[in-house]
Amino acid sequence: MPGFEYSEFEDTVYTPYRRVLVTGATGLLGRAVYREFQNNDWNTLGSGYSRARPRFLSCNLLDEEAVRSVVHNFQPHVIVHCAAERRPDVVEHHTEAALNLNVHACATLAKEAVAGGIFLIYISTDYVFDGRNPPYGENDAPNPLNMYGKSKLEGEREIIRHCPGAAVLRVPILYGEVEKVEESAVTVLWDRVQEGAESSTIDHCQQRFPTYTNDVARVCRNMAERALQDSSLRGIFHYSGKEQMTKYEIACAIADAFSLPSSHLIQLTEQPAGAGAQRPQNAQLECSRLELLGLSVEPTVFKSAIRDSLWPFLHDKRWRQTVFH
């Protein structure tokens, strides 16, 4: 069957309770979500595509029949849809392919979720807002500035249109355990921090709220477990880290976390022309809905989480004695 491989899962006996399907389980957030559910007594199936083998199920989310087969065979109680093209500059230049994944795949999953009585969590973004009047609540009108934000907003609408009982979870810039530092717009700054002999200019205009993937994963599990008990849990939710920083300040915080110098980092206070997809100036999310429901988690302190995330990429491992002891 095109786009779908399931053979090694066919003979698996699944427990009848608490099954979750995580799409995009090979990605930055998906790995954390998969691990969070698996480590907390959920029967967890992760899917990916080009990077799926050997750990995860390979499924092309653009193949409707493949998606249908996965859902019908596994019969999850919950789907956490993490798969997306989340690089704004890539979406800007490869719009059609991005729309297929960020919008059309959402409709397919939503239809399967509603047909199977499955609770669906869709991961969206703060980039649905234009960043001109923060903070933004769940009921504030979106106005995305770039194609990435537009595609995720359209994905939200497809999810809710086809599966009214679904939940949309908007999150900001993410970081966490990475396979390579380029995987996150936060950890990608690491090489600039370590290259202390050469000056590097870094954006000091746009305000960010870096958010740890492990924290988002815990929120997803909290929502899933509540939804098994309360079918009224639905609609749009926001979750975000609380530490406000520009990318320059993020880089300085990374340096400080590893006791590395930051004097070579230079503030860039004006956006250069042609600097890629337009980003919102400050898309701070107001997160009280999750907090009022008791489903939020206290964000991990940035310096602690970034050490855990970037320690494997430290050039000089002798720093470990200084940083960790």
d(CA 230, CA 186): 36
d(CA 70, CA 16): 16
And the tokens for 67?
């998606």
Domain residue ranges in the chain: 7-179+211-241+281-299
User: Tens digit of pLDDT per residue, the chain (325 long)?
Assistant: 344 444 444 444 444 579 999 999 999 999 999 999 999 999 999 998 877 667 888 889 999 999 999 999 999 999 999 998 778 778 877 878 888 889 999 999 999 999 999 999 999 999 999 999 999 999 999 999 999 999 999 999 999 999 999 999 999 999 999 999 999 999 999 999 987 767 889 999 999 999 999 999 999 999 999 999 999 999 999 999 999 999 999 999 999 999 999 999 999 888 765 667 788 899 999 999 999 999 999 999 999 999 999 999 987 655 554 554 4
- Domain spanning 7-179+211-241+281-299 has what CATH number? 3.40.50.720
Distance of CA 27 to the CA centre of its chain: 8
d(CA 95, CA 114): 28
> Can you give the pTM of this predicted structure?
0.90
Give the helix/strand (H/E) hosting 98: helix 95-99
Contact 280, 145 (CB under 8 A): yes
Indicate the SS3 state at residue 260: coil
